[in-house]
Structure 1
């Protein structure tokens, strides 16, 4: 056994071969640097800090048998860290890199290791992985939101890895490409602009995604029968439907399970719909390109003149109101002179009179005597 405590750096550094034996316990109140062998452990390892952050780093992955995380300002992984038997979330999140070039730095659940104690303040903020044979729910989230994702048994024989991103897939921060929510396969009519998951794995599985109020499911569907798991096919550069085999909950909180697919065939996953909310006598033209060429210069809803008592509200991805108009059909009938042309309206909105940036927005249409309707539109200049 060879180890070294670097007092000046306030870290425990292993440069040799150490082991926690059966019934042994160790508590780390400092950073751990593992440059040696520290992956044949039994017993218990805890990470504790009541008022600061801790870091696990080094050249080699440490693997613990039982592991507790009680770190006020989060446990940061700069090297992959494994747990073989059980992991407890007591306080704080586990932060791992989100950049695609470093997704192997994750919290690794080995041999179907379970966990406990996850909530909106305690989860893996970044990537977690699983190697095993059983159903598994990734305890992943972003910001202070736990948004678990579940795979079926057998999906992780060769290791599955997953993370959750609370951001618009049109403008991802951690991927080299954008996932254009207007590029849709024939079996998809709309895609969420609020969030997405990354799931990696080469074994066929079903996946279950969860939603909450911030998912804004009513902007996609009012009937969960029409909700779908959708995936970005990197070859076709389109969002494809992955199905809806079962769902539960309501539009505020719930979960949906896909049909079987191979995760590595899709870069990211999110929610979509197979049916537009606006139907019947109404046709929505969701592309707005206000460049003066006469095509889609304003947001057009054909047939709205038949429903004169209406109010249209348009919001950006953060839920900020950028346009509002009563009796919207009159704005369209006047050649779009007072219709929505991608300009902020001001008043209680943002940057009055300025062009809104290219991107996806969502609208809510209220019609007297009918249920509110909602959907997406896309501004392109």
Structure 2
């Protein structure tokens, strides 16, 4: 019966917290087109994994999810400014809508996470609503982890060459020399010769056993000027578990300046590294700079498309465009003025039909006939 939710539960009085809890002992299921709203804690001590419909976490006081079993939902909506605290992992198989408030996991327990299974995805993340702790994926190859800390979202984009059975990621806004939740420190003075200066501001912890590339972005809080005097020198370094030192993970694609930008790595196996962060490269690869471009795709005949006149000298070319987090939104080989503010990538859901949102983007132009690469800014206005 559509639209009907069958529930059998106990409301337990939690004396210490003066708050009730919904206790699942095995008789809750959300049917297709059904919905349930959690305004209190969830104690899940039975299988809760054949759900359809929507599970929402609402209210004006923090909600805790605990129990012996991981609840697996179809759609989830988070609308709680005080946050949803996970003391056991929680998963979804379709969409998570981050409306307000964070999903918070204990950083000292990486086996507790919000898991996006196979087709699971999300939208509407921001500095005010994200995963403050560990997010995970199951049976996925490409994913942008919606992680950050209490103050800001700091996503990491993972692009693996095969399906990940399980991969996890968390962000740490702290000095890797003195990490708060690891048994060891990651001494930034221990590094290979091709790594110059390692960031002491922030790092990510990423797990997974599939060869992958990553993209991470920096902002003003990243203090990139503290490790280099030029953005093109920025690369990614990883703390090698075998070598007990920072090694260069590459800088295949870059964009931005010292205040805002992104960088993509070479391929590596995440499980080989205990921490990942920014570093300046001792022997950087020089990347030239073209002009910045201004795009107003309103069909008035002015700046409706991205036109790079230098590409006429190299018909054998490639244009890649990235958003400020480093997510690729456009990719075209032998580009001839096709970009008009719309994505041609399957990883972009919102903005696919109505166009990408206004803002700053970065482009990477590869001119194969000339053997050169260029990068710069693209300002998109609607």
What's the TM-score once normalised by structure 2's chain length?
0.69
Q: Secondary structure at the match of 1:152?
A: strand
> Which one of 142, 158, 167 corresponds to residue 165 of structure 2?
158
CA contact (8 A) 1:244 1:258 kept: yes
SS in 2 for 1:67: strand
d(CA) in 2 for partners of 1:124 and 1:252?
24
Q: Deviations over 1:336-380 (max 9, x none)?
A: xxxxxxxxxxxxxxxxxxxxxxxxxxxxxxxxxxxxxxxxxxxxx
Shift of 1:97: 1.1
- In the alignment, what sits opposite 1:33? 43
Do residues 4 (structure 1) and 9 (structure 2) align? yes
1:189 aligns with 2:229: no
Structure number with higher strand proportion:
2
Counterpart-to-counterpart distance in 2, 1:71 and 1:31 = 12
Q: Does 1:54 align with 2:59?
A: no
In the alignment, structure 1 residue 137 sits paired with structure 2 residue 147: no
The root-mean-square deviation of aligned C-alpha atoms, in Å, is 1.6
SS at match of 2:93: strand
Q: Distance in 2 between matches of 1:175 and 1:276?
A: 31
Instruction: Compute the displacement of 1:274 (Å).
Output: 1.4
| Alignment counterpart, residue 221 of structure 2, candidates 201, 210, 214 | 214
2:112 aligned with 1:105, yes or no?
yes
C-alpha distance in 2 between matches for 1:197 and 1:108: 17
Structure 2: gaps (5+ residues):
1-5, 15-19, 285-382
> Is the contact made by 1:163 and 1:199 (CA closer than 8 Å) also made in structure 2?
yes
Report 1:228-243 matches (<5 A). 228-243=235-250
Name the counterpart of 2:254. Answer: 247
Say whether the 8 Å CA contact 2:103–2:131 is kept in structure 1.
yes
Report how far residue 156 of structure 1 moved.
4.7
1:238-277 matches, within 5 Å, as: 238-275=245-282
* SS of match in other structure, 1:218: helix
- Runs of at least 5 residues in structure 1 that lack an aligned partner in the other structure: 278-381
Which of 1 and 2 has greater Rg? 1
Q: Alpha-carbon deviation of 1:155?
A: 5.3
Do the aligned partners of 2:140 and 2:165 also contact (CA within 8 Å) in 1? no
Structure-2 change in CA distance of 1:249 and 1:69 (3 Å): same
TM-score for both structures, normalised by structure 1: 0.70
